[in-house]
């Protein structure tokens, strides 16, 4: 057990005589004094706080800090809001509740499913406060589960979460391509016809753009993120006001709140109604994206969970009101809206005219691109964190941090390639792409529930500064029950009868992921993987990692250069 670790101490491995790994303290290059008298001078209180956070990361969690802590309260909150991207993600997924039951389904699905999502979001925030590392909830398993089960549970949690993150970025990029092309088509009065091939091609180009932005320094990413939340709220509020003012023939309250009309083909209508949950589940997910940048946040144990809970509350309330406005302003013929390439863009066009329609569709595109920027940033940090523990093949490649930008460039571009590949299913049909949206919600939420279940079952949880007190176990329990229920729904085909072009491919993605992760576990993982590095546990020397040359249980970060780059 390493005790009394000072700021700047790095836990490094060596082999003891009994064949176990012993971690020693060494002074990180990034914390060496930079003055002639050998004393490092702190420029301000923020730097002192960052050093304290880095010391905790090293001493308590066993990871060497390699990122600069640029994110404060506003930028962290803005990052969390940008992950949900309320205005744009509602535009992207509005067709699902509309098909499931019309405007009323969109309203009530948001209210019902959103309450379940809020329970899950608060549960995640509580865990992030206790264990603020880039590994996110994958890491928390090592603190909450019995030690003998940590390797297999962490392995499963990590791979499920990774699939969800990739699907999240991929589906967001697909939605961005749809909005951009919808604006272009609207500019030609819909004379320009959009094909699936065009959408996939534009998606690929936009994903590359997202990769380029994420190749910048964290400093610039933080600056861009900080102003995003103001822009997002301004667009959402002004759009709702414009729709209510400019729409001449508004629908009745009965149409918006009580009339359920399904076009999915499923019977009874009440069952079809359940498919509308996807809109809110896809919008209000990826809660732990903020966790994956906690090593870039000052005082992350407080700021990260606060940002998650505040951002999801804003998304829940704002999304409910936005769906009501869309219901009143969409017109009485929901089928014509549903048949449009981008249903919400068509509502804008009908109510606000060509200029207003293009303006708010482009605003939606800008907002969802910020979703893509932040989601890919979180995904790349996930690859970095998982590779640091050698969860991923060729981990020594994905843990490389650029000395120029201070970002894990190899992880960024691996994420870009995988997101493009998973979206190729869109070449088949638009319905087929819904599987990517489904698998995003399913995978991420299940990966959150695994550590929550461990927390409830094994009683090893030590709360952080942000916690729910006595209400915690009840909220945690309902979050898991809700996730199990909607996961079954999201695996079913959304249209009936089922054909090749209407199949829900979420199950295919999940089976492929489980097959690959299981095969990799059997062939190599079980030989060296002992779970995330947990300070205080000794790990056997068995199973040298051929990819990175490390010994099982030792973080790949211990081999990285300690100097933090700007």
Q: Are 242 and 352 in contact (CB under 8 A)?
A: yes
CB 412 within 8 A of CB 211: yes
**Contact at 8 Å (CB) between 45 and 90?**
no
Q: Report the first-to-last Cα separation within the chain, whole angstroms.
A: 32
387, two tokens: 């590779």
Per-residue pLDDT at 6: 41
Say what the pTM is: 0.80
Q: Beta partners for 12?
A: 24
Only one residue has tokens 């970025």, namely 169
CA–CA separation, 320 and 26 (whole Å): 53
Q: Which residues pair with 11 in a beta bridge?
A: 25
Domain boundaries, the chain: 71-502
Radius of gyration of the chain (CA): 24
**Between the CA atoms of 390, 391, 395 and 401, what dihedral angle is there, to the nearest 10 degrees?**
-90
Query: What is the mean predicted confidence (pLDDT) over 534-555?
Result: 38
Residues found in the chain: 566
549 pLDDT above the threshold of 50: no
Distances (CA, A) of 190 to 197, 276, 314, 346: 18, 28, 34, 10
Q: What is the pLDDT of residue 357?
A: 97
Calculate the alpha carbon distances from 26 to 8, 35, 202, 387, 558 in Å.
8, 20, 49, 23, 11
Closest residue by Cα to residue 181 from 364, 10, 372: 364
Does the pLDDT value for residue 452 go beyond 70?
yes
DSSP assignment letter at 523: I
CA 71, CA 153: separation in Å to the nearest integer?
31
CA distance 285 to 121: 8
Mean pLDDT of 52-62: 56
Compare 340 and 3 and report the one with higher pLDDT.
340
Question: What is the CB neighbour count within 10 angstroms for residue 352?
Answer: 21
- In CATH terms, 71-502 corresponds, of 1.20.1740.10, 3.60.20.10, 3.40.50.1970, 3.40.50.11820, to 1.20.1740.10
Here the tokens at position 252 are 């009745």
Q: Give the 3-state DSSP-derived string for 18-43, with helices as H, strands as E and coil as C.
A: CCEEEEEEEECHHHCCCCCCCCCCCC
> How far apart (Å, rounded) are the C-alpha atoms in residues 549 and 528?
11
Name the burial class of residue 470, with classes exposed (0-12), middle (13-18) and buried (19+) by CB atoms within 10 angstroms of its CB.
exposed
Virtual torsion, Cα 133, 134, 138, 142, nearest 10 deg: -30
Q: List the one residue out of 335, 381, 307 whose CA is nearest residue 122.
A: 307
Q: Is the pLDDT of residue 323 over 90?
A: yes
Any idea of the CA torsion for 25, 26, 27, 29, to the nearest 10 degrees?
Answer: -130
Asked whether the predicted pLDDT for residue 543 surpasses 70, the reply is no
- Position with higher pLDDT, 18 vs 322: 322
In the predicted structure, residue 189 carries a pLDDT above the cut 60: yes
**Segment 393-444, tens digit of pLDDT:** 888 898 888 888 888 899 999 999 999 998 988 887 767 788 888 888 899 9
CB 298 within 8 A of CB 76: no
Paired tokens of 519: 């095969």
Confidence check: pLDDT of 22 > 60: no
- For 268, counting Cβ atoms within 10 Å of its Cβ (0-12 exposed, 13-18 middle, 19+ buried), the class is exposed
**What is the three-class DSSP state of 50?**
helix
| 14 within 8 A of 22, measured Cβ to Cβ | yes
Secondary structure (3-state) at 383: helix
User: What percent of the chain is modeled with pLDDT above 70?
Assistant: 81
CA distances from 101 to 104, 108, 278, 432, 486 (A): 7, 10, 13, 20, 17
Cα separation, 109 vs 257, in Å, equals 11
Confidence band (pLDDT; 50, 70, 90) for 54? low
Asked if the model's pLDDT at residue 174 lies above 90, the reply is yes
486-501 pLDDT per residue, tens: 999 988 887 777 777 6
Task: Let me know: does 453 contact 423? Beta carbons within 8 Å.
Answer: no
Residue 434 near residue 93 (C-beta atoms within 8 A): no
The model's pLDDT over 132-143, given as tens digits with 9 standing for 90+, comes to: 887 778 788 888
């Amino acid at each position: 057990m390493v005790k009394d670790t000072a700021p700047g101490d790095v836990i490094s491995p060596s082999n003891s005589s009994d064949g176990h790994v012993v971690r020693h303290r060494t002074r990180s290059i990034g914390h060496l004094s930079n003055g002639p008298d050998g004393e490092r001078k702190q420029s301000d209180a923020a730097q002192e706080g960052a050093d304290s956070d880095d010391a905790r990361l090293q001493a308590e969690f066993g990871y060497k800090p390699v990122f600069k802590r640029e994110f404060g309260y506003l930028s962290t909150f803005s990052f969390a809001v940008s992950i949900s991207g309320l205005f744009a993600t509602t535009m992207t997924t509005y067709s699902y509740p509309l098909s499931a039951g019309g405007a009323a389904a969109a309203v009530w699905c948001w209210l019902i499913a959103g309450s379940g999502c809020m329970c899950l979001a608060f549960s995640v925030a509580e865990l992030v406060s206790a264990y603020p590392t880039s590994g996110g909830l994958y890491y928390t398993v090592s603190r909450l589960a019995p030690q003998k089960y940590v390797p297999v549970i962490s392995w499963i949690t990590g791979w499920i979460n990774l699939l969800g993150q990739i699907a999240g970025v991929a589906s967001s990029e697909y939605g961005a391509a749809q909005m951009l092309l919808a604006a272009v088509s609207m500019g030609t009065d819909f004379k320009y016809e959009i094909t699936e091939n065009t959408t996939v091609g534009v998606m690929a180009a936009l994903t590359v753009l997202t990769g380029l932005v994420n190749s910048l320094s964290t400093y610039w990413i933080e600056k861009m993120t900080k102003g995003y939340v103001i822009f997002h709220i301004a667009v959402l509020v002004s759009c709702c006001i414009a729709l209510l003012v400019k729409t001449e023939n508004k629908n009745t309250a009965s149409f918006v709140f009580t009339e359920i009309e399904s076009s999915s083909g499923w019977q009874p209508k009440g069952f079809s109604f359940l498919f509308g949950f996807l809109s809110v589940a896809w919008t209000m997910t990826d809660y732990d994206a903020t966790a994956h940048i906690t090593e870039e946040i000052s005082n992350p144990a407080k700021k990260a969970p606060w940002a998650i809970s505040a951002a999801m509350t804003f998304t829940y309330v704002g999304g409910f009101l936005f769906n009501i406005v869309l219901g009143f302003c969409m017109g009485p013929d929901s089928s014509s809206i549903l048949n449009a390439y981008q249903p919400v863009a068509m509502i804008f066009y009908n109510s606000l005219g060509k200029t207003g329609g293009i303006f708010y569709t482009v605003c939606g595109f800008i907002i969802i691109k910020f979703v893509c920027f932040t989601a890919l940033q979180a995904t790349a940090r996930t690859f970095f964190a998982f590779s640091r523990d050698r969860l991923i093949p060729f981990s020594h490649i994905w843990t490389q941090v650029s000395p120029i930008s201070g970002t894990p460039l190899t992880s960024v571009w691996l994420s870009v390639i995988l997101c493009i590949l998973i979206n190729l299913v869109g070449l088949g049909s638009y319905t087929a792409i819904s599987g990517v949206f489904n698998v995003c919600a399913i995978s991420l939420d299940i990966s959150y529930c695994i550590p929550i279940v461990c927390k409830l079952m094994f009683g090893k949880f030590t709360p952080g500064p942000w916690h729910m007190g006595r209400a915690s176990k009840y909220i945690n329990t309902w979050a898991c029950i809700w996730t199990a229920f909607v996961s079954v729904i999201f695996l079913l085909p959304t249209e009936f009868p089922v054909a090749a072009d209407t199949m829900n491919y979420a199950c295919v993605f999940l089976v492929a992921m489980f097959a690959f992760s299981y095969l990799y576990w059997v062939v190599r993982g079980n030989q060296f993987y002992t779970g995330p590095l947990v300070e205080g546990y000794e790990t056997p020397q068995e199973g040298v990692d051929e990819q990175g040359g490390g010994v099982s249980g030792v973080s790949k970060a211990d081999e990285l250069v300690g100097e933090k780059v700007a």
